[in-house]
Amino acid sequence: MKCHKVIDRLSAWLDGELNDAERAAVAGHIEVCPDCRRELDRLVADRELLSSASPAEEPPFLAARVLSEIRAGQRRPAHGLLRRVLVPIAAALLIAVSIGAGTMLGAGLARKATDSSEFVTNADDQALETYASLAGGE
């Protein structure tokens, strides 16, 4: 049996869960393979450490505190209230800002259009003057 197969079966071997043939193969391999013997020793040491450790104790009244936090959270309607009140307000604000921005943008465009038509008029006048001066030979 190869080392990785032995290592895979060490835990089952310790628990007596292998059939006769597998048990004999693992035992025979461990006799001759120092690496797998070391792995077996480590596994045995880990198990002893686990069995000697006392089970973790929960802090006093942990369950009661968790349950009371859950109940307090259920009583607080903050989340639903936020959704019912703040979302429509945010939507109304967004619409108002959009209308305001649209109005300002429209006014700005209208002013710009007026300015540029004056510019065009001025440019036309200048062009005419230039043309007239050139044509007049001045």
Positions in the binding site for Zn ion (CB under 5 A): 3, 33, 35-36
Q: Output 21 or 53, the one with its CB closest to Zn ion.
A: 21
Cα–Cα distances (Å) from 55 to 98, 118, 132, in that order, read: 62, 89, 106
Q: How many residues does the chain have?
A: 138
CB of residue 35 vs Zn ion: minimum separation in angstroms?
A: 5
CB of residue 69 vs Zn ion: minimum separation in angstroms?
A: 52
Q: Output 3 or 109, the one with its CB closest to Zn ion.
A: 3
Alpha carbon distance 30, 36 (integer Å): 6
Angle at alpha carbon of residue 122, lines to 120 and 125, rounded to 5°: 110
Query: What is the per-residue burial (b if ≥16 Cβ within 10 Å, else e) of 104-124?
Result: eeeeeeeeeeeeeeeeeeeee
CB of residue 50 vs Zn ion: minimum separation in angstroms?
A: 24
Q: Output 8 or 124, the one with its CB closest to Zn ion.
A: 8
CB of residue 60 vs Zn ion: minimum separation in angstroms?
A: 49
Q: 37 with 30: CB under 8 angstroms?
A: yes
Q: Output 10 or 36, the one with its CB closest to Zn ion.
A: 36
Annotate 106-121 with DSSP letters as a single string.
Answer: HHHHHHHHHHHHHHHH
